[in-house]
Amino acid sequence: QNNITHSYLEQETTGINKSTQPDEQLTLNSEKSMHRKSPELVNEISYENTEWPGQRSRNFQIISSHPDNQSVYSTTENYNIMEHRHNDMHYECMTPCQVTSDSDKEKTIAFLLKELDLLRTSNKKLQQKLAEEDKEQRKLKFKLELQEKETEAKIAENTAALVEEVYFAQKERDKAVMSRLQLAIEERDEAIARAKHMEMSLNMLENINPEENDMTLQELLNRINNADTGIAIQKNGAIIVDRIYKTKECKMRITAEEMSALIEERDAALSKCKRLEQELHHLKEQNQTSANNMRHLTAENNQERALKAKLLSMQQARETAVQQYKKLEEEIQTLRVYYSCIFQGDSMFPLKQKDTEDFPALSNIELPYDLASPLLGIYSKELKVRTSSYCTPVFMKALFILTKR
């Protein structure tokens, strides 16, 4: 049994070695470990099983999986586990140190089986990855084919559209060429008809004598009246018709020249009118701009006048305020002088001669009933004069009386 398991393990390892290249790269280390341990196991098993002469080698069939095919059977390989020596003396010469215990063999076999399971799982995973990669590669190929077909279809559509445009342009060009050719043919036919008509008229004029061109219409009529044959009448009639035709042409030429001159004069007059209209419009714009400027200037002048009037009024108000300020300063100065005179000396409220000189009219001023009213600036309605020349002395006298009390 140990020989069978060992041979099975060796066959598994050889089958894994024959698998795909990614499997060999991933499982290289594990195979090396197995190959290192397998000779020792073979030697141990060979020494143990030498007592069975003529033992047959076992054949195992290994199935290996390929990424493209699901299962491919590998060829059977026969492995001879050991060569039986039929010499019984060799068994007798064996030492007990060369035989390993069954427990060690079972451990090694279990370890190798675990490694085999790991290798199988890794091989399966790699096969799954390869299958997924193959699917993705097929999808990409299919997408690329679809894109190529779409591009080819677009190119075909673009080429068809270009061909249609070229065909339509060629048709239009052919139509234009044909119309031009038709016009050229018509013009050629008209020129030929005119040339024929001119030839006919020249042939008719060649038969007329040059002396007859100088004759008047009355003379030609007289010749027709005096003519005896039809040929003479026909010649004279042709001369008269030619004369009439020439006069008509001359009149038409003169009228055409006059009309062209009139048209030129009309065009010149129209251009002159347009120029005059433009000048008039320009002058109107200039007048409007000048009027706007004048309005703006008048508005500015009005603003300046208003500002000047306002400035004058403010100056007057300032002057009045300055005057009032000066008067108030004078009053304050007099009050300061008065208070300084009152609070000087030994007595509490002495009145000096300077005070009477500063205020000579204090004795003649009549105070109201309540002395607090002039001190507080309250006066009766009957008092018409409320100027500083009256209010200040009243205030001073009331204050003087209160200080005496």
Residue 201 has a pLDDT of 66
DSSP state of 55: P
Q: Which helix (H) or strand (E) holds 75?
A: none
Beta bridge partners of 224: none
DSSP state of 51: T
Report the C-alpha gap between 53 and 242 in whole angstroms: 153
Domain boundary assignment for the chain: 2-143, 212-277, 348-404
Report the C-alpha gap between 318 and 326 in whole angstroms: 12
* Contact of 66 with 72, CB cutoff 8 Å: yes
Residuewise pLDDT in 10s, the chain (405 residues):
445 445 545 555 555 444 444 444 444 444 444 444 444 444 444 444 444 433 333 333 333 434 344 443 333 333 343 444 444 444 444 444 444 578 888 889 989 999 999 999 999 999 999 999 999 999 999 999 999 999 999 999 999 889 998 989 888 889 889 988 998 899 888 888 888 877 776 666 555 444 445 566 677 777 777 777 777 777 777 777 877 888 888 888 888 888 888 888 888 888 888 888 888 888 888 888 888 888 877 888 888 888 888 888 888 888 888 888 888 877 777 777 666 655 554 343 444 444 444 444 444 445 554 555 555 555 555 444 444 455 556 566 666 665 555
- 206 dihedral zone (left: phi>0; alpha: psi -120 to 50; beta): alpha
User: What residue type is 360 in one-letter code?
Assistant: P
Residue 363 has a pLDDT of 47
- Name the one residue in this structure whose structure tokens are 């009331």: 398
* Contact of 77 with 13, CB cutoff 8 Å: no
pTM of the predicted model as reported, rounded to 2 decimal places: 0.24
CA-nearest of 197, 236, 205, 199 to 218 is: 236
Distances, alpha carbon 88 to alpha carbons 57, 82, 172, in Å:
20, 16, 113
Residue 111 has a pLDDT of 92
Report the C-alpha gap between 364 and 360 in whole angstroms: 8
Cβ density class 106-143: b for 16+ within 10 Å, e for less: eebbeebeebbeebeebbeebbeebeeeeeeeeeeeee
- Name the one residue in this structure whose structure tokens are 């714009």: 285
CA-nearest of 128, 125, 137 to 26 is: 125
- Name the one residue in this structure whose structure tokens are 């060796």: 10
Residue 385 has a pLDDT of 45
Q: Diameter of the chain by CA atoms? A: 181
Pairing of strands 77-78, 72-73: unpaired
Report the C-alpha gap between 307 and 200 in whole angstroms: 99
